[in-house]
Chains A and B, each alone.
Chain A
Amino acid sequence: MAKQERWASRVGLVLAMAGNAVGLGNFLRFPAQAAANGGGAFLIPYIVALILLGLPLIWVEWSMGRFGGQHGHHSTPGIFDTLGNRRAWWKYLGVFGLFTNLLVAAYYLYIESWTISYSINALIGGFTGPQFDGPEGIGRVFDFYSKLTGEDPRAHQSVFAISPWGLGVFLLCIIINISILSRGLAKGIELVSKIGMPLLIVFAAILAVRGLMIDPKTDAAAVASPFVGLNFVWEPKFESLKNPSVWLAAAGQIFFTLSIGMGSIHCYASYLREQDDVALTGTSAAWTNQFCEVVLGGTILIPIAVAYLGLADVQQRSGFSLGFFVFPTLFNKWGAFAPVAGFLWFGLLFFAAITSSLAMGQPIMAFLQQEYGLSRPRSAVAFGALLLPLALPVAMFTQRSFFDEFDYWVGTFSLVVFALIESILFAWVFGMERGWAEIRKGAELRVPGFFYYVIKYITPLFLILILIGYAFQPRGTVSEVNRETGQVVTRDDGWSAYFEAWTNGKPAPAWDWSPDGMIGKLLYRDLQAPPDETPEAKSYREGLVVMRTIDRLVMVGAFTFFCILVRKAWVRRRAEGRA
């Protein structure tokens, strides 16, 4: 029998786990979320969510993984089966830990492939020169993106979006991931993390320092100090704390930044031994992620963008739009350093992405190795073979179909469902006494006693609230008269409009499902026909409805496929006397 795979060192494991958590969202999503949700005050609910939700779930997932590993399981179907006292259906709920990783990898690797193209193009001077100045320059970056993806985000016209170049780089990216995964835990994933994470931090630090050195007095292109941007991110707006949407946004950010609810943490932790510490190692990985997000992520995107574009322009753009469409033109103002700066930016995004995408492959490979006896290289190829039928539609159809659907249903919704299931399993089925003993076993960091109650009561409750918040999200349309212009302006306030009504007695808006919530998504709320729809737009919209229906069938099919694989695996286990 093959010897058990292990991590080579604790620091390597922490960097691999931190690499799993540090992703594109640390640099693109966090600063935009903080700025839009109360600035510095956003960090209050953010840290509360880290304590009540993030750290407890980190310890739960690490402990579950190590416990499962002691019973010979490295993926969540087996780990859930062991913790659930071998009741038949827990292993099927554990399928979420395979399903989410495969489907998230299908679109995440696509974005990762863009960072490869962008970083190489930046390094060879492809974003440098006077033609990349101003709005026309941004237009040229849009053109680059359109060539890469086969789709122009400024004008969606077709459900097809095929770019041979983009597809080629995407396939290359998948091959790079498979070849690293096939080298094993220590020589593949851990080695890449040991190289990638320090480089990511160095790249980010260089950009942050250079960005903060922008001086409008000496830099003719700058319209403001980068500290105006930093102020925009950090100035506390305490009134925002009364807004429940801000608390929901902070909890969501903590949840997604730590890569909780994926099954990848369980898998990585399952290669630990019984007496190996999980408390200190897990906490170290979590705080490394927070360092990359709060200190580095909050200091690059918004300050540099505000310095060159001004606050008003930046407020209208998303983090993704700033990062991929605007930033290459801003680096262009840094003279000879511009190609290097572009390479550093997209290089750090690449390292952030690849250390996460590797963590998505490992649980599926571990399952195939363990249950179907595949060798490591064969399981890596099998992962690629499973990935390809899902990844190709992501790259060949408009991002408003497979890409967006996978991102919402799998990359957002399923994670919360999975985390809720695992928190109930750990605290209430496995039992909090045993669970607490698992967290403290071999611990080199004393987890305070009040977390016993947090894990048992507060974390599941918190997750239920997040799930309700996302699932039943209302549009909450509020109309207000602009005092300066006298015009009636409408905006979507989500849950806030109803909380205002319930707590302050204000009139509640008529109930309507938000297109960003579960019910609104199911009802295709964002694909409602506008009154002045052109025949071309109608054809595109109807095509999208068909595509999204197919996407959902694919997702149900993928989940069912994994359930069948798990069932067959357990039939084999019983036949071989291993069950």
Chain B
Amino acid sequence: MTQGAWIFMLSVWTVVIGMTGFCFYKLLTSKRQLNNGDEPND
């Protein structure tokens, strides 16, 4: 692989994995959940 390809791939991967990880970190550590404890009704 060329240097340009490596730089582009790793930069984009860093952004995508970083953003996905950041969002899930915030989601999983948030104290707020859906439904205020109500049981889902199907």
| A residues with CB within 8 A of B | 2-11, 13-14, 39-41, 43, 47, 183-188, 227-228, 230-231, 233-236, 272-273, 276-277, 280-281, 283-284, 287-288, 290-291, 294-295, 298, 376, 444-445
Q: How far is the CA of A277 from the CA of B16 in the complex (A)?
A: 22
Interface string of B1-27 (1 = CB under 8 A from A): 110111011001101110110011011
11 contacts between A and B (CB under 8 A): A7-B40, A11-B27, A14-B27, A183-B42, A184-B40, A234-B8, A277-B32, A280-B30, A284-B27, A287-B23, A288-B23
> Beyond the given A231-B1, A280-B27, A291-B16, could you list 14 further A-B residue pairs with CB under 8 A, ordered by the A residue number?
A6-B40, A10-B33, A39-B8, A43-B8, A186-B42, A230-B5, A231-B2, A233-B9, A235-B4, A283-B23, A284-B20, A284-B24, A287-B16, A288-B24
Closest 5 CB pairs of A and B: A184-B42, A40-B8, A284-B23, A186-B40, A234-B5
A13 close to B2 (CB less than 8 A): no
Find chain A residues with CB under 8 A from B26 CB.
280, 284, 444-445
Residue of B nearest to A7 (CB): B34
Please indicate the chain B residues that have their CB under 8 angstroms from the CB of A11 in the complex. Answer: 27-28
A525 to B16 alpha-carbon distance, docked (Å): 40
A301 to B7 Cα, complex, angstroms:
21
Would you call the interface of chain B mostly helix, strand, loop, or mixed? Answer: helix
How far does the alpha carbon of A295 sit from the alpha carbon of B21 in the complex, in Å? Answer: 13
Size of chain B's interface in residues, with CB distance under 8 A? 29
Q: Which residues of A contact B35 (CB under 8 A)?
A: 6-8, 273
User: Do A295 and B17 touch across chains, with their CB atoms under 8 A apart?
Assistant: yes
Judge whether B27 and A235 touch: CB under 8 Å. Answer: no
B16 to chain A, nearest CB (A): 5
Which of B36, B38, B40 is in CB contact (< 8 Å) with A185?
B40
Cα distance A277–B26 when bound, in Å? Answer: 12
* A541 CB to nearest chain B CB (Å): 43
Cα of A109 to Cα of B2 in the assembled complex, Å: 40
Instruction: Provide the bound-state CA to CA distance between A183 and B42, in Å.
Output: 7
Say yes or no: A40 contacts B20, CB within 8 Å: no
Residue among A227, A228, A287 with the highest chain B CB neighbour number at 10 A? A287
User: Chain A interface secondary structure, helix, strand, loop or mixed?
Assistant: helix
- A14-B27, A234-B8, A295-B13 known; A288-B20 Cβ under 8 A: yes
Contacts of A40 in B (CB 8 A): 4-5, 8-9, 12
B-side contacts of A43, CB under 8 Å: 8, 12
Expressed in whole angstroms, the Cα–Cα distance for A276 and B38 within the complex equals 14
Selected contact of B42 from candidates A188, A272, A291, CB within 8 Å = A188
Interchain CA distance A6-B34 in the complex, whole Å: 9
Q: Is A287 a contact partner of B20 (Cβ separation < 8 A)?
A: yes
Given contacts A287-B16, A287-B19, contact A9 B34 (CB under 8 A): yes
Measured in the bound complex, the distance between the Cα atoms of B2 and A194 in whole Å is 38
Contact B41 A294 (CB under 8 A): no
Whether A276 and B34, one on each chain, are in contact in the complex, defined by CB atoms closer than 8 angstroms, is yes
B14 → chain A, closest Cβ, in Å? Answer: 10
User: Are B33 and A9 in contact, CB atoms less than 8 angstroms apart?
Assistant: yes
Chain A residues whose C-beta falls within 8 Å of the C-beta of B28 in the assembled complex: 11
Partner pick for A10 among B6, B8, B34, CB 8 A cutoff: B34
Cα separation A500 to B27 with both chains bound (whole Å): 47
**Complex interface: chain B residues within 8 A of A298 (CB):** 9
- Residue of B with least CB distance to A184: B42
- The CA of A183 and the CA of B16, in the complex, are separated in Å by 34
B23, B24, B33, B41: residue with the most chain A Cβ atoms closer than 10 Å: B23
> Which of B5, B8, B9, B41 touches A6 (beta carbons < 8 Å)?
B41
Q: Hey, which chain A residues are within 8 Å of B19, CB to CB?
A: 283, 287, 290
| Contact (Cβ within 8 A) A376 B42 | yes
Cα distance, A290 to B27, chains bound together (Å):
17
Q: Which residues of A contact B30 (CB under 8 A)?
A: 10, 280, 444
- Contact B16–A290 (Cβ < 8 Å): yes
Residues of B within 8 A of A5 (CB): 40-42
Bound-state Cα–Cα, A40 to B3, Å: 12
Question: Residues of B contacting A284 with CB < 8 Å?
Answer: 20, 23-24, 26-27
Which of A4, A10, A14, A227 makes the CB contact (< 8 A) with B1?
A227
Q: Of A13, A231, A276, A280, which one neighbours B23 at CB under 8 angstroms?
A: A280
* Chain A neighbourhood of B33, CB < 8 A: 9-10
Contact between chains at A231 and B8 (CB < 8 Å): no
**CA distance in complex: A389, B40 (Å):** 34
Pick from B2, B20, B28, B41 the residue with the most CB of A within 10 Å: B20
B42 touches A295 (CB 8 A): no
Q: Which of A2, A235, A444 contacts B2 (CB 8 A)?
A: A235
A295 CB contacts on chain B under 8 angstroms: 13, 16-17
Bound form: Cα–Cα A215–B1 in Å: 14
C-alpha gap A39/B23 in the complex (Å): 27
Known: A14-B27, A185-B42, A230-B1. A291 touches B17 (CB 8 A): yes
How far apart sit A220 and B2, CA to CA, in the bound complex (Å)?
Answer: 25
Complex Cα gap A376–B2 (Å): 55
Q: Are B9 and A230 in contact (CB under 8 A)?
A: yes
How far is the CB of B6 from the nearest CB of chain A, in Å?
Answer: 8
- Name A275's closest neighbour in chain B (CB-CB): B32
CB proximity of A275 to chain B, nearest CB, Å = 9
Would you call A444 and B42 a contact (CB within 8 A)?
Answer: no
Inter-chain contact A281/B41, CB cutoff 8 Å: no
